[in-house]
Chains A and B, each alone.
Chain A
Amino acid sequence: MNTELLIQLLVNGIIIGTLYGVVAMCFTLIYKSTKIINFAQGEFLLIGAWVCWWILNQFQIPFLFAFLLCLGFMMVLGILLQVLILKPMIGQPIISIIMVTIGLSIFFQAAMKWIFGVAPQPFPPVFETKSIEILGLNVQTAYIMSMIISLVIMVGFAWFFKYSRMGLAMRATAFDQQVAQSMGISVKRVFAMSWAISAMVSAMAGIVVGMVNGVSTGLSHFGIKVFPAIILGGLDSIIGAIVGGLIIGVLENMAEFVDGQYLHWGNMYNIAPFYILVIILMIRPYGLFGTKDIERI
């Protein structure tokens, strides 16, 4: 058995898994507070990466500034999406709202192709060394950065929800919008905030992946890849999203290992997560951490 490859893939799995977890968390955030299943989550990564790439190429400014500018742009985009497109949909059947997000996803993909072209573009080098060695393992510098950013985001999320005033307001809104409103919470503001946070954090993930693989339409597949993670964790659990992301990240790399070493079926990397998704849904339809629906009879 090729132990070195196994460990290398395991590390990759954990790193990519935390990224899945972060994106899944963003997805869950929107679902929890607004009950919208956002099929355009992957496009947030795509837009974020392209915008950051464009700023870096257009203006000769340090990466950090471009990164912050891009986040500012994503915040505005998230709020505009909520105010202009999704707010008028309040009270409509859930399936209509889902169709709108699918429409948004197609629109954004096409718009990105139209503006930036279809060819993948490499990110301008941000770090001097592309990869470093840790304990004999080759790890991309961008991935190290992603790991740090992801952890900071996760701790930030936990802190925000537990201790901040808006976090408490968001939890209250997620539980019951009517009651939250009667307590003086502006539900509109909570909705806009969840979209803004979700767009910003997803964009960070998009930038990180773009730095490693180059920016291309492929980034939006992240949005689809994240689904097994969300379902695995339970649609409405933030911790579930993180754990689900980690599991899926590790699993797909392990599938790659087994396939590459023994089975030689090909493409298990992409398929395995969805097998898991199907099995999980059969055994635990509400996911690992999701709220179990209790029906009163």
Chain B
Amino acid sequence: MSDSIKVGESILSVEDISLNFGGVHALKSVSFNVNKGELFSIIGPNGAGKTSMLNCVSGRYNPQGGEIRYKDHDITKLSPNHRADLGIGRTFQNLALFGHMSVLDNILVGRHHLMKNNFLTGSVYWAGGAQAEELEHRRACEDIIDFLEISHIRKAQAGKLAYGLRKRVELARAVALKPDLILLDEPMAGMNLEEKTDMARYIVDLNQEWGMTVVMIEHDMGVVMDISDRIIVLDFGMKIAEGLPEEVINDPHVKQAYLGDDDDIAQVSA
């Protein structure tokens, strides 16, 4: 696969994506470009189509129009599991952990597509290389567990953990895929200040030290402005702004979308 993409070159390009649910136009020809090594945020009011956009990239939705290219592959029609194989990982807005499994098992699911041994080669454990493989994957999981500081709960049942910890486990599961591009859908929703600070630190570390390209949806403007390299703003399924954090926050369209119409905006722009 083309690992030849250098930092700063385009890793994901979304062109003219349109998505309809019957008569509802969730996305109207949205285009943007994410470069390798970037921390890219998608913001916008509720119902703007942010999660729909993410779902188009991860393969849960199939857009009616447009093209999504990842590392120079056209992935528009690819099934979600193949996209995961190509190196796209994601977390979900509403927690989607495998609740009855242990934290470690949850993370191991993320390693699934990297494992090669099967039921038969696994049964000749030592001879088939399964042992070496298992060790390698367990070690990778331990690295992730250490990094996200969840080693004290590794054996706990995922469904019984506190909300903030579950969010962290979900991030760990997505990281376990060893993705080049990680999609985070509201990683900090419903967290308190301390948890948010931690999460922001993990995301920045993933981006800078682990070299993952991050596409993030987030509502907390303070965090978004602090850590993002670039931002796009969606409203009613359309892209209304794109650029550096300071450019975006001063954009009149963005103010309009966030603050409301008419009178208010007249005052703001005055």
Whole-angstrom CA separation of A182 from B98 in the bound complex: 13
Q: Within the complex, which residue of B84, B99, B108 is in contact with A182, where a contact is CB–CB below 8 Å?
A: B84
**In the complex, B105 has a CB within 8 A of chain A:** yes
User: 8 Å CB contacts to A: which residues of B30-85?
Assistant: 58-60, 79-81, 84-85
Whole-angstrom CA separation of A184 from B177 in the bound complex: 8
Closest 7 CB pairs of A and B: A184-B113, A184-B84, A181-B80, A179-B96, A175-B98, A172-B109, A186-B81
Which segment, of B9-17, B116-124, B253-261, faces chain A?
B116-124
Give the nearest-CB partner of B105 in chain A.
A168
Tell me if A168 and B109 are in contact (CB < 8 A): yes
Q: B110 contacts which chain A residues (CB < 8 A)?
A: 183
Q: Within the complex, which residue of A165, A168, A169, A182 is in contact with B117, where a contact is CB–CB below 8 Å?
A: A165
**In the complex, B115 has a CB within 8 A of chain A:** yes
Q: Within the complex, which residue of B84, B99, B113 is in contact with A175, where a contact is CB–CB below 8 Å?
A: B99
Min Cβ gap A167→B in Å is: 8
**In the complex, A166 has a CB within 8 A of chain B:** yes
**In the complex, A138 has a CB within 8 A of chain B:** no
Tell me if A172 and B84 are in contact (CB < 8 A): no
Tell me if B119 and A184 are in contact (CB < 8 A): no
Tell me if B109 and A169 are in contact (CB < 8 A): yes
User: 8 Å CB contacts to A: which residues of B77-106?
Assistant: 79-81, 84-85, 89-90, 92, 96, 98-101, 105
Q: Within the complex, which residue of A169, A175, A178, A183 is in contact with B60, where a contact is CB–CB below 8 Å?
A: A178
Q: Within the complex, which residue of A164, A169, A180, A181 is in contact with B59, where a contact is CB–CB below 8 Å?
A: A181
30 A-B residue pairs with CB within 8 Å: A160-B119, A163-B122, A164-B118, A164-B122, A165-B112, A165-B119, A166-B118, A168-B112, A169-B109, A169-B112, A171-B105, A175-B100, A175-B101, A178-B60, A178-B80, A178-B96, A179-B98, A180-B109, A181-B59, A181-B84, A182-B90, A182-B92, A183-B81, A183-B113, A183-B173, A184-B84, A184-B85, A184-B113, A185-B113, A186-B79
Min Cβ gap B60→A in Å is: 6
With contact pairs A176-B96, A185-B109 given, residues A164 and B81 touching in the complex (Cβ less than 8 Å): no
**In the complex, A9 has a CB within 8 A of chain B:** no
Q: A171 contacts which chain B residues (CB < 8 A)?
A: 98, 101, 105
Tell me if B112 and A183 are in contact (CB < 8 A): yes
Whole-angstrom CA separation of A179 from B59 in the bound complex: 11
Tell me if B115 and A165 are in contact (CB < 8 A): yes
Q: A165 contacts which chain B residues (CB < 8 A)?
A: 112, 115, 117-119, 122
User: 8 Å CB contacts to A: which residues of B167-198?
Assistant: 173, 177
Whole-angstrom CA separation of A186 from B84 in the bound complex: 10
Q: A230 contacts which chain B residues (CB < 8 A)?
A: none
Q: Within the complex, which residue of A166, A176, A182 is in contact with B119, where a contact is CB–CB below 8 Å?
A: A166
Give the nearest-CB partner of B115 in chain A.
A165
**In the complex, A187 has a CB within 8 A of chain B:** yes
Tell me if B96 and A181 are in contact (CB < 8 A): no
Whole-angstrom CA separation of A38 from B85 in the bound complex: 32
Whole-angstrom CA separation of A164 from B121 in the bound complex: 11
Question: Which of B90, B112, B113, B177 is the most central at the interface, judged by chain A CB atoms within 10 Å of its CB?
Answer: B112
Whole-angstrom CA separation of A164 from B119 in the bound complex: 6
Q: B100 contacts which chain A residues (CB < 8 A)?
A: 175
Q: Within the complex, which residue of A168, A175, A176, A185 is in contact with B81, where a contact is CB–CB below 8 Å?
A: A185
Q: A166 contacts which chain B residues (CB < 8 A)?
A: 118-119
Q: B115 contacts which chain A residues (CB < 8 A)?
A: 165
Give the nearest-CB partner of B100 in chain A.
A175
Query: Contact flags (1/0) for B224-251 with A, using CB distance below 8 Å?
Result: 0000000000000000000000000000
